[in-house]
Amino acid sequence: MPIARTASALACALVLAACGLARDSVPADRLPRFSPLSGPAPRIALVLGSGGPRGFAHIGVLKVLEEMGIHPDLIVGSSVGAMVGVLYAAGYDARSLERLAAGLNVMQFYELRELLKKRSTGAAVQDYVDEKVDGRTLEQLRIPVALAATRLTDHKLVLFDRGDAGLAVRASAADPDNFEPVRIGADLYADGDELSPVPIHAARELGARFVIAVDVSAYARTTPPGVPEAWIDKDARRARQIRAEAPQADVLLHPDLGYYAGFSESYRRRVMSVAEAYTREHMARIRAALSAFEAREGKADAASPKRGG
């Protein structure tokens, strides 16, 4: 009898989970898409990289940048960086994000299908983001934002800066190891981490004149013995991609968070604290880079031809 009850409960749960997949569909006019930015080129872009739960560290960085009076005109995010970036662009300041992170119930992101060794759909991620931004689309957020994702039909990096915020984040964070591909229109999308873990080049392509990038990936030197080769290969691939784009950043911040990641509240608090302390240690470097940029901008303005009256 207990077995029958368990089977019945599991069947009902799976039916409910399947019903939840209807959340995948959004009206055609809300589908994530890209449209070139209008208006002047962004002065300061903040690029937030991939890293799963390591991404809580972005909040510690934001906390210090806010205290320094640095406010981005554009946010470009990949994977978990897309989620943090969207919430920040929606109006959550660093301290608000810190409270959200500390009080997060991570169980709300698990799906019963995972008990059957199936990949998550990511629908809970979509729901969470859409709820936190009050249903606003990407273009309705306070700060312009662009989210990186990998289009599987041609394995190209694409950006979303319009449309449903939750669905765009879900696509950008669809790590193939843990999440099913996300359908948007006629195409399937996966994690932006696959092609651009820290999308610095994308920020430059969008016209950003000063780029602060945040890399929360593990340092190779922290890799413990016995780690699966697949993890080592993925870390090496990610490091190569980041190195290729790093020269285009004015400031690249890379706090050492240790190798293993987790979802516990203590882990979340620790990585936010580590990233905050690291960024404080590098405040002089950030200020120096910003001063050099402002000096270049001033010279460019002085050299530009003035219109007569």
Which is nearest to 91 in space by CA: 108, 67, 71?
Answer: 71
Q: Which is the catalytic residue, given 130, 161, 191, 250?
A: 191
Q: Which is the catalytic residue, given 79, 172, 196, 217?
A: 79
pTM here is 0.90
For 217-247, the pLDDT digits (tens) are 999 999 999 999 999 999 999 999 999 999 9
Q: How many CA atoms lie within 13 Å of 243's alpha carbon, on the beta-carbon side?
A: 7
For 295-305, the pLDDT digits (tens) are 999 876 666 66
**191 in active site:** yes
Q: Using pLDDT thresholds of 50, 70 and 90, give the confidence band for residue 20.
A: very low
